[in-house]
Amino acid sequence: MANPEREDEQTDADKKRETAADRQTKQGDNPHPIDSHALVITAAQASVAANRLPALLARVQRQLSENRSQYHREFECIEQTDDRAVFFAASDHWEIVGEQLGLTQREIDAVRRAHVQQLLRIGATSGRREEFEAAIEIRDAVVIGC
């Protein structure tokens, strides 16, 4: 039986291995900033069909990108790279965005999971995973592509 705590952790080899989808995200070809590893974990956990996730995330990303400056003003930016900015937003953030976009609760949950998985992946590579796990208990993770 697989260890559920180990499921979303990475080995050093996993951290060094870069998939084509990850390279696309870094190159700006991907319409959302969620890398392939986080997407696979989200697809396994979400109640939304895996083949619908990329389009759903791209739709949400358009909304987030349009409001990027607002996120920088209103929320804590915990990491900024050339590829993405990561924020801690209010705990009802995804419900508000979901309502604005007309998303179902399952779609909102899938988007939230994808952003959390991406945050945890960033935390694993930066040594801040525990800090991020504690923070997402009270706030929502938001990843916006640059």
Which residues lie below 8 Å from residue 55, measured CB to CB, with a gap of 6+? none
Q: Count of CB atoms within 10 A of residue 4's CB?
A: 7
Q: What is the mean pLDDT of residues 132-138?
A: 96
Q: pLDDT (tens digit, 9 = 90+) per residue, 57-87?
A: 999 999 999 999 999 999 999 999 999 999 9
Place of tokens 């759903």: 56
Sorted by sequence, the CB contacts under 8 Å of residue 53 that are 6+ apart come out as 39, 42, 43, 46, 110, 114
Q: What is the pTM of this model?
A: 0.78
How buried is 7 (Cβ within 10 angstroms: 0-12 exposed, 13-18 middle, 19+ buried)?
exposed
